[in-house]
Amino acid sequence: MNHLTDNLALSSLTKADLADLLGEKMGVSGRESDEMVNAFFELILEQLAQGEKVKLTGFGSFVVQKKSARMGRNPRTGLSAPISPRQVVKFSTGPTLRERMMTKRGDESEGEGRELKQFVFHPIAYALLPQEQAEASSSACRGGIARNTHSG
C-alpha cells in the first residue's frame, strides 16, 4: 500500500484518488491520469446508455436491467407504495475479482479483498448510478463487508 491507500483504508476511493493511483503506477502526470480515468468511465457510460453489456474480463460485467413497475412497501411506515418502472445497472463479479473477494478469514490477504471491493466497486457505483442509488449500493456493500468480517 502507498500513502494514498493508507489514508483511504476506511473510506471510499474517489475518481480523483483513482487517477492519482493510476498516475503513480503508470508514471504519468496527474492531468493525463485524470483524463484516462474520465475517458474510461465515459466509455462505460456510453456503452451502458446504448444498452450494451460491458465485460471487463476477470474483473466483472456491467449490464443494464429493466425493472418492471411493482408495489413496494415503505420500510418506515409499512404502507404500500407503487414503484415505477426503471433501468438499473447490475454488476456481476468476474472470477479474478471473486477469488480476491472470497479469501479465507484469518488469511493475511483477507483485508486486500475488502479493500479491493471498497476501492473499486464504490467509485464505479458512484460513476454509473444516480447519487441516491449509489449511496444505497455503497451502504449495502459496506454492511456486507461488516457482516462478513464479524461472522464465523
- pLDDT tens track for 15-25: 999 999 999 99
DSSP state letter for 51: T
In sequence order, which residues have a C-beta less than 8 Å from that of residue 152 and are 6 or more positions away?
A: 105
CA 4 to chain CA centroid, Å, is: 19
Residue type, 113: G
C-alpha to C-alpha distance for 57 and 97, rounded to whole angstroms: 10
- pLDDT tens track for 5-41: 555 455 788 999 999 999 999 999 999 999 999 999 9
- pLDDT tens track for 116-144: 455 455 556 555 555 666 565 555 555 54
Predicted TM-score (pTM) of the model is: 0.56
C-alpha to C-alpha distance for 114 and 141, rounded to whole angstroms: 10
Delineate the domains of the chain, giving CATH numbers in brackets.
3-150 (4.10.520.10)
